Amino acid sequence: MQTQISEKQKSQRIYFMGTAAALLIVLIFRRYLSAEFVISNGFGIFSIPNPLPITSEDWFKLISRDPLVGLLLLDFFDIVNYLLVGIVFYALNFRIGHHQKKISTFSLGIGIIGILIYIFSNSAVRMAIFSLQFSTANEETKTELIRAGESILRIDSLGIGVNLGLLLVLTSGLIFSILMLKDSAFRKATPIFGLLANGIGLLYFPILFLAPNLIWLPPTIEGVFRIVWNFLMSMDFMKLGRKPLFNLNKFG
């Protein structure tokens, strides 16, 4: 009996984490938040530099002057998004893994690898650290920091790590969405929106090579479906967290 209570408490914690993470993604830490920030003219609150920084020295000065704006434009909050996605995937694996362990674990694994690749490829943290050093450095050190910053920006412009991380996370989301179709714990609309969000998101990669002037299109369209998907998952996780223990493994 004590074991059952302990298992129930564990499942409640995991589903609460999944609920909270999915809602935070919907309400605050959406992917491509920097694009929203620019399009909305700083959400009507912040001032966006015009023109946007180009050189590493420009970025250092912006981050020093207005850290929130600088980090937003460098996609720092996408790191938070990816971490929250990891929590959502963990909660999905906890539920789906009961009956589809191998494929669910595989999906979680490539998702985590994608998240780690993205985090280590994102330049925001390194540029912020360099900015702090730049503000108090002597001229010789400033020159070295500018050179290092330019190298980071050059690698960042290639987008190899960021795109690989995105590819793995979208693929993981697509697999989880397919698995959710077979689980009666999720409402029917949840996996459908997941398939649309991740499927359309994956179109970014062929378009990147075939029609690069249209690469903005898949993220724009899938963003709407992703918001709905995360909201529906948060509701499903909340419902799962309230279920009695003997219903945890009910599939249909």
Q: For residue range 11-35, what is the model confidence (pLDDT) as tens digits?
A: 899 999 999 999 999 999 999 999 9
Residue type, 160: I
- Over residues 201-217, the pLDDT tens digits come to 999 999 999 999 999 99
In this prediction the pTM is 0.90
DSSP designation for 50: S
Burial of 110 (0-12, 13-18, 19+ CB in 10 A): middle
Identify whether the C-beta of residue 146 lies closer than 8 Å to the C-beta of residue 127: no
- Over residues 93-122, the pLDDT tens digits come to 999 998 899 999 999 999 999 999 999 999
Identify whether the C-beta of residue 131 lies closer than 8 Å to the C-beta of residue 60: yes
Identify whether the C-beta of residue 90 lies closer than 8 Å to the C-beta of residue 108: yes
Identify whether the C-beta of residue 182 lies closer than 8 Å to the C-beta of residue 100: yes
Average confidence (pLDDT) over 167-185: 96
Tokens of 171: 């693929």
Burial of 49 (0-12, 13-18, 19+ CB in 10 A): middle
Q: How far apart are CA 10 and CA 148, in angstroms?
A: 45
Distant-in-sequence, close-in-space partners of 49: CB < 8 Å, separation ≥ 6 = 62, 69
Mean pLDDT of the chain: 92
Q: Is residue 8 over pLDDT 80?
A: no
Identify whether the C-beta of residue 63 lies closer than 8 Å to the C-beta of residue 130: no
CA dihedral for 163, 165, 168, 173, sign (positive or negative): negative
Q: How far apart are CA 123 and CA 149, in angstroms?
A: 9
Q: Is residue 252 over pLDDT 60?
A: no
Identify whether the C-beta of residue 72 lies closer than 8 Å to the C-beta of residue 34: yes
